[in-house]
Each structure stands twice: as structure tokens, then as C-alpha cells.
Amino acid sequence: MCGIWALFGSDECLSVQCLSAMKIAHRGPDAFRFENVNGFTNCCFGFHRLAVVDQLYGMQPIRVKKFPYLWLCYNGEIYNFKQLQKQFGFEYQTLVDGEVILHLYNRGGIEQTASMLDGVFAFILLDTANRKVFLARDTYGVRPLFKVLTDDGFLGVCSEAKGLINLKHSTSLCSKVEPFLPGHYEVLDLKPSGKVASVELVKFHSCKDEPLHVACDTVEALPSGFDLETVKSNIRILFENAVRKRLMAHRRIGCLLSGGLDSSLVAAVLLKLMKEININYPLQTFAIGMENSPDLLAARKVAAHIGSEHHEVILNTEEGIQAIEEVIFSLETYDITTIRASIGMYLVSKYIRKKTDSVVIFSGEGSDELTQGYIYFHKAPSPEEAAEESERLLKELYLFDVLRADRTTAAHGLELRVPFLDHRFTSYYLSLPAELRIPKNGIEKYLLRLSFEDSNLLPKEILWRPKEAFSDGIASVKKSWFSILQDYIDQQVDDVLLEKAAEKYPFNPPKTKESYYYRQIFEKHYSGRSSWLPHYWMPKWVKATDPSARTLKHYKSATQE
């Protein structure tokens, strides 16, 4: 996990522009570098490093003797760099996994490069010999990337939008900062002036398609067919493989553990594999919640079952409320449910950074979208519509849960790993018949639970524990976190302000005092940039006015039984 930043064709003094790059210093607390591009005095790279692999030669931009004309700045982990080396005979000069990007590009161009990378990534690749700039981002946008491109060809690229919004340019302030789309690469021509012109934006991978890099995966062809035993076995094999490949690290590994199905499965498989490869330190697991909250109690049970070194962070209401503004600044969004869920994750990440030496943090993000884990999936009109909704949620992860998970951990210099979003695992799960993937017997994620039922990885009551939203699970049963927030905000926002909300904020107008409060803070830091959030996250097929699972009838009936 790092912070990357680059400018091409800047009219302003680069030493002034470089101040913007310092806005993402939290992403790389170990070292930083600014480097001008030879022959292009108005182009430069900025890099903030979190050293996870190759402590000695891991600084960026990466340049190697074999390709003196290539410059690479990337944020991510490429899990198959050794398999690619073996398959194509690459001669690496460093231990940095991202060096493979240079070799792949030299061998087969940008399309093959992006398609063959098994991992999470956002990168800027400059080819001065052919005067090209390439941008690319992984399938689900697990690693963030933003860009701004002016009409006269000034390009700014950064891991977070906050590193671009204050850039200066002769024609205007750079106002059209936007997220770079996941699963895409862009080709730009580099002119002698250092300015660029976009040539094409190409989608190189869709979540349903089996990725090209399967050809050199450590797990070979799986049995075909959709009989239940085969499917369950394949799910277990691919999920374990997803966790195994993510063990690549020279820093201590930890795991977030809410006590829900997703994080519990990740923690259990992670600890099992760490033992298998003789990692000689205990796995630290981390839970956050109010005293005796459902998440704390469940996480305690899981930690005792798997034998992790468990840490509990007790959330008090005042601390959570005080964190709202810094959380919104970190997130760069005003989405209601994203902010609610981020407060706990932000504070547990803060604890990990200050009190432990765990840096590489595993988490359960992506499972709800992939395996139809949200409560509202019980209301899907048909298995086909549920499958369509699952794909929509996966495509929008970069706006919601993946955004939350990246920013809250990166704010404290941690690196997140999300095995549920493994390319091969997700494409296999999405290839299964729609009726296999829907909730059954009133239980969401039924197929995933069933697949691990006989594994003894988790206690039965955890494996079959109903869905609890992170922002609700950290609160007490009597009063949910979202209602605690609403009670506080009710005193902060006047009724008259809410009545005129649509006039003040015509795009995505706030409908509640809570959303108005968040929007005010967002606009304070990112004025006029509300289009970063195309729409609020809301449940489908139900008449919901609030995104919390606790407001849905299914949840109420389940907790009242």
C-alpha cells in the first residue's frame, strides 16, 4: 500500500505543485520521493512508500537497466509475479512484485499487461521511447486512483482526490477530478511539451469473465459441473488459494474480525495457512464495538476457537462522534452508510497503527456483494434479478465498501488485503447458476456457509450467524450505532436547513438531518465535487428510507423471535 502521484505538462512551478502530493503522505509513512522525468521538465512523479516487500530496492518510480525508457509508479500487490517470471523467463532486478509490469509491457503491450496481473493495483506507466503514458486499475478498484485532465493536456494522477484538488494550472483551477474506472486502462500520447492527449480508454476485465492469468495460477483446472459437492469443494479450494497468495509480505500480518461470517472465515483460513507455512508469530485479530456489542461477543468466540492473539477496541460514543469529520475527509464521500461503517474501521485502524506492529491487514470486504449477503436479497423477485444486483454491487464497490476499507486503513498507514475479491474466486462464484446463489431457508450467503459446514474452521453458531451490518454490529443491541449518530446530529442541524436542502444541494439532495450533516462536512473539504458520489447506497426491492439493515422488516422479525 502506497501513495502515488504524477503530473504531466504542468505550467506551474513543480516545487509548488508538489505540496499537493503531501496530502497523501499517510499512505506511505516509511519514505517519500519526488522525481522529474528526464527531458520533460514539467513532468514528475511523487511516491509515498509503505515498505511491505523489498525493503532495499522498493522505492519508486521503478526503473530498471534493461528498460531505461520506462518509468513505473504503482500502488498494489501482484500475487503472481513469480509464476509470470517462470512462465515467460523474466529476469528481475529487484524483489518488488510490481517490476513484472515493466517486463509484461515490454513483452506484449499494455492490454496483456493489465490482463495478466493477478492482484490489486493502480499504476502510472511512462514509456519515453514511444511517448506514451498508461494508467490502469484493478477489476474492483481495491486500490484507488483519481485523475484530472484539462482541455489543453495537463494531466494529474493520484491515489486520492485530495492530492489533485488544489493543483494550479494556467487556464483554470483543476475542477474535473474524477475516479479512474476499475477494470480499465487508458492510453495517452505524450507530446514534446509534456502535455498529453487521451487516445483510448479500454475495459480489460469484467468481474464475470475468467481472468487470463488463470493460465499460470498455482491451482490448476477445477472439476466442472454444478452438482453441490463439486461446487462446495471448488469454493473451498479457490477461497483458500485466495488467502494463501495474499500471504506475500515482509511485514507482520493481522486480521480485522467482526465476528460475522466473512471476517471470521478469512481469519480462520488465514491462521490455518500461516501455521502451514511456519510463520513464527501469532496472528493478531482486531474487533471494535461498544461494551458487550454483538460483534465483540462473536469475535471473542471466533478468536478463542481459532487461537488468535485477540485485541478488542472499546468504542465510546463521544470518540465516534468526534471522528466524523476526519473520517469524511479521509473517505472523500458523503454517502450515509459508508460514513457510519467507516467510523469503527477508522478507529480500529488507528489502534492497530499505534499499539501493534501488524501492518498487512486482512478483511472480509466483497463477500456481501458477491455472495448476496445483504438482508434485502431475501426480497429479490427472482434468482436472475438477484444475480444482476450482485454484479451491480460488485461494479460499484469502488464507490462504497472498497473505498471505505482502503481509506480507513490507509489513513493510518496500513495495507488492506481482501481475499473475497480474488479474481478467480469471484469469476467462479458468478459463473454458478443463479438459483444456487440466492438466500435459502431465510438465511443469506447460504451456499458459502454450506461450503464450509464440515470444515470445523468456525463454531456452528458463527458459521450460521445472520448478517449484521458493521455499523450496527459494533453498537449495543438496545441502540444501534446509526440511531446514536442520528440523536447527536438531530441537535446539530436545524429543521429549516433541512427544508431548504434541495436548494443548497440540488445534486443528491440530503433527505435527513444525518445526511445533511455529512454533506456539510464534505462540502467544507471538497466544495462542488458532489458528483464523486453518483447516488447513495440504498437497499433494493424494499421501501427503505435508511440504508441500515436494522430498519428492514426481515432483520426486526429475526431479532424479535
Q: How far is CA 67 from CA 5, 71, 72, 90, 105, in A?
A: 21, 9, 11, 13, 10
Going by their DSSP bridges, the two strands 178-179 and 146-149 should be labelled as antiparallel
Amino acid identity, residue 182? Answer: P
What angle separates helix 481-490 from helix 336-355, to the nearest 10 degrees? Answer: 110
Grid cell for residue 187: 492510453
Alpha carbon of residue 422 to chain centroid? 12
Q: Which residues share a beta bridge with 287?
A: 312
Tell which residue, 176, 146, 142, has the closest CA to residue 403. 142
Q: How far apart are CA 154 and CA 293, in angstroms?
A: 51
Report the C-alpha dihedral over residues 386, 391, 396, 401, rounded to 10 degrees.
Answer: 70
Q: For residue 357, how many other CB atoms are within 10 A of its CB?
A: 11
Binding-site positions read 97, 256, 288, 363-364
Q: How far apart are CA 138 and CA 418, in angstroms?
A: 13
Residue that the C-alpha cell 506484449 belongs to: 108
Q: How far apart are CA 271 and CA 321, in angstroms?
A: 34
Told to judge if 43 belongs to the known catalytic residues of this protein, a careful annotator would answer: no
| 532: DSSP letter | G
Residues with Cβ within 8 Å of 417's Cβ and at least 6 positions away in sequence, in order, are 77, 246, 360, 361, 362, 363
| Phi, then psi, of 219 in degrees rounded to 5 | -95, 120
Catalytic residue among 2, 73, 174, 207, which? 2
Q: How far apart are CA 370 and CA 94, in angstroms?
A: 36
Burial track 369-401 (b if 16+ CB lie within 10 A, e otherwise):
bbbbbbbbbbebeeeeebbebbeebbbbbbbbb
Grid cell for residue 316: 465510546
Alpha carbon of residue 440 to chain centroid? 29
| Phi, then psi, of 32 in degrees rounded to 5 | -145, 160
Q: How far apart are CA 261 and CA 462, in angstroms?
A: 6
Grid cell for residue 136: 490502469
Q: Which residues share a beta bridge with 202?
A: 185
Cis peptide leading into 534, omega within 30 of 0? no
| 214: DSSP letter | G
Binding-site positions for L-glutamine read 97
Residues with Cβ within 8 Å of 133's Cβ and at least 6 positions away in sequence, in order, are 8, 124, 125, 126, 127, 155, 187, 188, 189, 190, 196
Tell which residue, 430, 450, 431, 428, has the closest CA to residue 439. 450
Task: State the catalytic residues.
Answer: 2
